Each structure stands twice: as C-alpha cells, then as structure tokens.
Amino acid sequence: MEGVTDPCFRAVLLALHRPEDLGGACTEFLRVVDHPYRPGQVRKHLGPKTGSIPVGVQLMGSHESALAATAESVLQTDAAFLDLNFGCPTKGALKGCAGSALLREPKRLESIVRTCVEACGGDLPVTAKIRAGFDDAESVEELARAAEAGGASLLTVHCRTRSEHYTDQVDWTRITRAVEAVEIPVCGNGGVLVHEDLERMREVTGCLFVMVGHAALADPWIFSGQEVTAQAAAEFLHEYSLALESAGAGPRKRAARLKQLLKVWSAGGLISDEADRKSWMAEREPERLLAAMEARAHAEAIP
C-alpha cells in the first residue's frame, strides 16, 4: 500500500510467514508517466530479496511504451511477477488517466495488459488488479474479461467501486461475478478484517486467493491466524524501526511510520485500550517513542 507498506515493512512481515500461509506480496505502485524506470530504480522499489515468498512489482500508468520499457526493467530484477494497478482512486491517478480511470475504458485496459505481457515475453507472469467498477459494478464481468483477454495470468478484484473508495460496506458478490466470468485464477480483495475472513471469502465467492489490505496493518499475523504476545507485537514494530534505520531513515520518519501502524494496531494486545493508544499517539518525541517500543520488545528478556 502506497506510503505504508515500504520494502522494510514487507521484509519484516514476510519473515514471519511460511509460503503456505502467505502466498505472495506486491510492492506499492510505481507510477509510470511517460518515462520508463531503469532496473536500478525498480530494484530499489522492490527492496532486497528475502526468503522464499514471491514478491511482485506493481506498475500504474497508461503510457504503453513507457510501461513496456519499465516491464523490461522489471525483467532484470528479482520480481516474481508484474502487477498492473487499475484500482487507485486518487485524483492524481485520474488526471493521468491511470489506476481506476481505466475502469471506464476496458479496451484500453486490455491493451495495456497485452503490451506488458508482450514486453515480458513469457519470462514473467503479468497480473492485474481492478476494482469492481468506476461509478457502479455493472461492468465487473467486462473488466475481468478485458484483463484476461489481454493475457493476465491472475486477476485481483477489489470489490469496492472507485466511487466507494474505502467504505466499510463491501459486496463480495462482485468477486463471485468476476470468478464466474473468467478462467484465470481470481484473488478476492476488500473487507477482510480477521483471519477467518480469508477462508470465508474463498468459500462465499469461489476465488482461489485472497488479498488483505488494511487489516494487515493492524495485525501482520492475519495471514496465519497466529495469536501473538504483546512482546512479539512490540518486537515486530521494533524490528521494523531497525530495518528503516538500516535503510537510512532518521528517528522522526521511523516514529511516524510506527505511529501509522499504532493508530490501527490490534495484534498481541500491545495496545490495551483506546486510552493506551492515545498515549502512544500523543508521544511527540520520536526517540522516546522508539525507546519505549524497544523496551516493550525486550520486556521479558530483562532478568
């Protein structure tokens, strides 16, 4: 997720899981305007390869030759797949006719997928992520078929429309409709809150895979369903801070990233109640917040 799940967050989270519990992950989008990215830039975005869980690179754009050239750069990295973002709802994306803007143009969406598939020449799977539609979900089947016709080998369907942004209400029947419209595997997305929802979404919609967004920020163990202690939860956050430090982030940025997670954090009972959450969030001194987290992470190790 753009601005949230950087390579450091991904590395710490992936290290907690076995491929049986977490089948894959994807970078946040690389916005391709009219200039291709070089392999080194893609590598930086992807982060170093750690463990055996496949990580793909996501691109967002509509300039086909720049996307094709960037796809060639992706081929020169460790990326396990190339994903195309047709879901981003922001004004910036719409202005550049990228992300969810392409939900209004299924033919163009199909052509963009095809261009990237051809650029990858069978050496790297190309996947696509759509929302259920732009203003409404009338065309979810048409959009799913467009991605399939373009050669996508897997389709992720975020069941909200662009107009619905990130509303609490979700309609999983839209995922079912996409599953029934295409032959390629579908990964359902939208509104998974707890581990049990992963299986429930598969059962209810028939999708083969499930993608988790927001809920993984509150509980990085949602994929395995493992119950963890408050200390383990603090260790995760401390490890994340250390990884950010190794990547060159100063205390202010590291504390801001931890707060982004603490705002919604639920794992391990690390946050005992809303007053506790408020007191973490109220800490204005970055070093103090980082030291408090380190102390919680090492709490049981103190003799």
Ligand X SMILES: Cc1cc2nc3c(=O)[nH]c(=O)nc-3n(C[C@H](O)[C@H](O)[C@H](O)COP(=O)(O)O)c2cc1C
Catalytic (active-site) positions: 88
Stretch touching ligand X by CB under 6 A, among 8-16, 35-43, 188-196, 284-292: 188-196
Q: Number of residues in contact with ligand X, rule: CB under 6 A?
A: 20
The single-letter code of the amino acid at 185 is P
Query: Does 192 help bind ligand X (rule: CB under 6 A)?
Result: yes
Query: Does 213 help bind ligand X (rule: CB under 6 A)?
Result: yes
Stretch touching ligand X by CB under 6 A, among 211-219, 224-232, 236-244, 290-298: 211-219
Query: Does 168 help bind ligand X (rule: CB under 6 A)?
Result: no
Partners of residue 227 on adjacent β-strands: none
Query: Does 85 help bind ligand X (rule: CB under 6 A)?
Result: yes
Distances (CA, A) of 252 to 7, 247, 287: 18, 14, 8
Round to whole Å and give the CA distance between 222 and 227. Answer: 9
Residue in 125, 151, 191, 220 binding ligand X, rule: CB under 6 A: 191
Stretch touching ligand X by CB under 6 A, among 7-15, 117-125, 213-221, 229-237: 213-221
Round to whole Å and give the CA distance between 88 and 165. Answer: 9
Residue in 158, 177, 254, 257 binding ligand X, rule: CB under 6 A: 158
Query: Does 58 help bind ligand X (rule: CB under 6 A)?
Result: yes
Q: Which of residues 90-149 bind ligand X (CB under 6 A)?
A: 129
Closer of 41 and 231 to ligand X (Cβ): 41
Tracing tokens 């369903």 back to the chain, one arrives at 225
The values of phi and psi at residue 299, to 5°, are: -50, -50
Nearest-5° angle of CA 116, CA 121, CA 122? 105
What is the closest distance, in whole angstroms, from the C-beta atom of residue 117 to ligand X in the complex? 18
Instruction: Tell me the helix, strand and coil percentages in the chain, rounded to 5.
Output: 50, 10, 40
Q: Which of 9, 148, 119 is nearest to 59 (CA)?
A: 119
Residue in 179, 215, 233, 261 binding ligand X, rule: CB under 6 A: 215
3-state secondary structure (DSSP) of residue 136 = coil
Query: Does 189 help bind ligand X (rule: CB under 6 A)?
Result: yes
The values of phi and psi at residue 155, to 5°, are: -125, 125
Q: By CB under 6 A, name the binding residues for ligand X.
A: 1-4, 28-29, 58, 85, 87, 129, 158, 166, 189-192, 212-215
